[in-house]
Structures are given as C-alpha cells and as structure tokens.
Amino acid sequence: MKSCLRCLNLLLFVLAVPWMAGADEIPWQKKLPFKEAVITYELSGMENGEEVLYIRDWGRQTARHRTTATTVLGIKQVSRSIEIVTPEWLYSFDLQEETGTKSINPRKLMLDEYQKLSAADRKKVDENAQNTAVMFMGTVQGSVEPNAKEILGYACDRTAGQDTTVYFIHDTPISLYTESNIVGISVKSVATSVEKKAVDEQFFQIPEHIVPQPDPEADRLAAIMAEQTIAALKDPAGFKQKNQGLLGLPPGEQPDIPEEDQMQMEEAMETLKRLLGK
C-alpha cells in the first residue's frame, strides 16, 4: 500500500505544477529549464544523509538515490532507496530489504484522461485547474510567492503551509529547499549543487537481484483517481461526495489498507476533495 500512497501524493502534486506558468504546453509535459542535470541534497532532522536527483529528457525521466541514517534509542538504522520515474512507470526500491515495486505513472494516467476530452472540455479543465493549482501549492491554507528567492542561481517560488515550506525552481516541480516540522518531527532537505551535465544510464537501471513486483491495487486506485480528477476539473459543480468512501469508492469496494497508512491516505484524499470541491 505504500506505493498507493506514493501514487496518490504524486497525483496531488500533478494537479499543481502544469498550470503554474500558464503555458500553452500540454499539461504534465512541461519541460524543465535543463535537459539533463544532477541535483545533490543534504538531508537533516529525523533522517540525516544525502539524496541525489538525476534528471533526463527535460524531466520526463528522473532517478532519486537516497541514503540516510536514523538513530532510535541509540541504535543507528541505515536506509538506502532508489525511486525511478519514467513517462510510463514508477519504480521504488528498498536496497536494504532488497525489495521493489512497479506501478503506472499517475502522470500518464492523467494525460490519458485529458487527451480523451474535446477541445472545449480541455479548456474547462485548464481554467478550473488554474485555481486548483494555486490552492494546492498554497497547501489550501498557505501561501504562494513566485520568484521569492534565488537558490544556486535559480529563481524559486516559495510555497508555505502550516507545517511545511518549500522552494521550487520557478514554474517547475523541482524543489531546492524543503523544511517541515510536523508533530515535532523535523525534516530538512537543502540542495547543495545543481549540475547541468549528461547523466549516465547506470543511475536509471533496475538494481541487480531485485525484481520489481507489480502493484495492481496501486494501478487500479491511481486510474480511478485520474479519471475522477479530470472529471471533477471539467465540472467542479458536479463533484459529489455522496456514497463515496476513501478514494471515492463505494464502501463495499474499499481497499484493505493497513491502519498505519489510513491517516496519511485520508489526509491526502481530503486535500484533493477540498481542492476540487471549491
């Protein structure tokens, strides 16, 4: 179910980025300001370590390599993970446990639904998404400040909510600074370098000895969410919550979600419902 949470969070973020610049490009296909790049982050707070983001094809492909350490009751725990995103797939690997999952990229599902629309309906979706993007990027009760600060030579948009502040490279989903403190748990990610250079294929390869397992439940839920999201953006007034439970599914079709994941899933869904319901 962790992959379901990742898909849902990515789908929520997809709502915001494509329209922020008001460009004429097809949503979810906006190019980054660099074709290839390597961004290194220093992580501190609950977890300490390093994260490296590899970017190719103007952002259509990314690979995030993360190594962190957490000390609990004097015991140090090391975590190593890789997340690879292609236009079609979302891969996630736990190198410590030697496990991995594979699910459909929610961006692809959103684009598929968008391209089914008529020209008139696409225009409605674009117009409604403009307001949705602003609300989401402001975390509903937060704020958005374009070009608020320059970081490593890039103008960044500041988005701030009750517990989290993020600086994104202007009109992109690439963060250069993130700081949050939720229920006393602090997390900080600071980019230390942005290198525009060719990225080797090795960083996008599936780790040896790990066969990513498909996650049909995550795919099913992401497809439902993509369809509902586009439908709601096309006709916000028609967005109804009656007889719908988590993820907009009838009570009898609810997935079996571990208790520890319920709160995060419900919070993400409530964010989406508040956005589309306004």
pLDDT in tens, 182-202: 777 788 999 999 999 999 999
For 61, counting Cβ atoms within 10 Å of its Cβ (0-12 exposed, 13-18 middle, 19+ buried), the class is: middle
Please say if the pLDDT value at position 85 is more than 60.
yes
- The pTM score is 0.77
Please say if the pLDDT value at position 164 is more than 70.
yes
CA separation for the pair 21, 214 (Å, rounded): 35
pLDDT in tens, 100-142: 999 998 888 888 888 899 999 988 887 777 655 444 433 344 5
User: Residue 101 in contact with residue 215, Cβ under 8 Å?
Assistant: yes
CA separation for the pair 176, 163 (Å, rounded): 17
Tell me how long the chain is: 278
CA separation for the pair 63, 205 (Å, rounded): 9
User: Residue 23 in contact with residue 30, Cβ under 8 Å?
Assistant: yes
Would you state the structure tokens that stand for residue 125, as one six-digit string? 């979706």
For 136, counting Cβ atoms within 10 Å of its Cβ (0-12 exposed, 13-18 middle, 19+ buried), the class is: buried
Q: Specify the CATH number of the domain 2-277.
A: 2.50.20.10
pLDDT in tens, 207-261: 999 999 998 888 888 888 788 778 877 887 765 544 444 445 444 555 555 554 4
Would you state the structure tokens that stand for residue 197, as one six-digit string? 């250079």
User: Residue 88 in contact with residue 78, Cβ under 8 Å?
Assistant: no
pLDDT at 98 (0 to 100): 95
